[in-house]
């Protein structure tokens, strides 16, 4: 990555972490995927039950493989035949791993969901929620974060799942009410009531979408 982008990300991460702390959430900054994975495993702790929403960023930093290979009770929803039971198990997990669709530079997290299992687990249930967030998802303000979530993250996710929505054809949000829409629930996480529940690892490189 260009050294000036790296410098900018280093400085911006300090601002984001201050913002998270002001909202009773914990922030960390990792310069590499390896560093991010190591920090995530430290926050999770051996022996913990862990589950996740569809989080590409966790795969990209090697966290999912590390959890499967290590001393963790990883609840792999892809292997569960009863999807509803897998979703319900997430609420009682020690740690729920997610990324966000976007966040503001003062620490507000934005997530959009279709099934809403991810946003509901972020809001309540699991003892800890661990976000893995590439610096590409940090936006100036809430309006920018909402626009990113709707015009970048959602249309790419729609392609990923081959859904029939207007954004699958235009590449931007058309504010649809299609049966296939993945924009059923919007979660804005602006403060954590419970200290030590929400942890955000910012990663220098671009992750997810």
Counting contacts by CB under 6 A, is residue 152 touching ligand SF4? no
Of 44-52, 70-78, 177-185, 195-203, the window that binds ligand SF4 (rule: CB under 6 A) is: 177-185
Between residues 150 and 199, which has the closer beta carbon with respect to ligand SF4?
150
- C-alpha R_g of the chain: 16
Within 10 A of 48 (CB to CB), how many other CB atoms are there? Answer: 18
Counting contacts by CB under 6 A, is residue 175 touching ligand SF4? yes
Which residue in 63, 97, 110, 173 binds ligand SF4 (CB under 6 A)? Answer: 173
Between residues 24 and 178, which has the closer beta carbon with respect to ligand SF4?
178
How many of the chain's residues bind ligand SF4 (CB under 6 A)? 15
Which residue in 158, 202, 203, 207 binds ligand SF4 (CB under 6 A)? Answer: 158
Which residue in 5, 85, 88, 174 binds ligand SF4 (CB under 6 A)? Answer: 174
Instruction: Provide the minimum distance between the beta carbon of 170 and ligand SF4 in the complex, in angstroms, as a whole number.
Output: 8
DSSP string, the chain: --HHHHHHHHHHHHHHHHHHHHTT-EEEEESSHHHHHHHHHHHH-TT-EEEESS-HHHHHTTHHHHHHHSSSEE--GGG-S-HHHHHHHHTT-SEEEE--SEEETTS-EEEEESS-HHHHHHHSSSSEEEEEEEGGGEESSHHHHHHHIIIIIHHHHHHHTT--STHHHHSS------TT-S-SEEEEE---SSTTTEEEEEESS----
Instruction: Provide the minimum distance between the beta carbon of 184 and ligand SF4 in the complex, in angstroms, as a whole number.
Output: 9
Counting contacts by CB under 6 A, is residue 155 touching ligand SF4? yes
Taking residues 2 to 41 in sequence order and writing x for each that binds ligand SF4 by CB under 6 A, - otherwise, the string is ----------------------------------------
Counting contacts by CB under 6 A, is residue 166 touching ligand SF4? yes
Starting at the earlier edge strand, list the strands of the sheet with 102-104. 138-139, 102-104, 109-113, 185-189
Which residue in 26, 51, 99, 181 binds ligand SF4 (CB under 6 A)? Answer: 181
Residues that bind ligand SF4 (CB under 6 A): 150, 154-155, 158, 165-167, 173-176, 178, 181-183
């Amino acid at each position: 990555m260009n050294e000036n982008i790296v410098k900018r990300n280093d400085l911006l991460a300090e601002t984001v972490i201050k913002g998270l702390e002001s909202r009773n959430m914990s922030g960390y900054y990792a310069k590499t995927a390896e560093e991010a994975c190591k920090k995530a495993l430290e926050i999770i702790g051996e022996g913990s039950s862990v589950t996740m929403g569809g989080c590409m960023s966790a795969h990209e930093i090697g966290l999912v493989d590390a959890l499967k290979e290590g001393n963790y009770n990883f609840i792999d929803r892809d292997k569960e035949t009863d999807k509803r039971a897998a979703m319900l198990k997430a609420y009682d997990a020690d740690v729920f791993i997610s990324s966000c669709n976007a966040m503001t530079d003062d620490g507000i997290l934005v997530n959009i969901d279709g099934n809403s299992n991810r946003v509901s687990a972020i809001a309540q249930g699991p003892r800890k929620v661990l976000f893995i967030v590439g610096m590409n998802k940090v936006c100036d303000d809430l309006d920018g974060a909402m626009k990113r979530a709707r015009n970048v993250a959602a249309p790419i996710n729609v392609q990923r799942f081959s859904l029939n929505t207007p954004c699958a054809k235009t590449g931007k949000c058309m504010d649809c009410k299609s049966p296939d829409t993945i924009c059923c629930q919007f979660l804005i996480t602006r403060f954590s009531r419970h200290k030590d529940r929400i942890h955000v690892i910012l990663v220098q490189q671009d992750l997810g979408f």
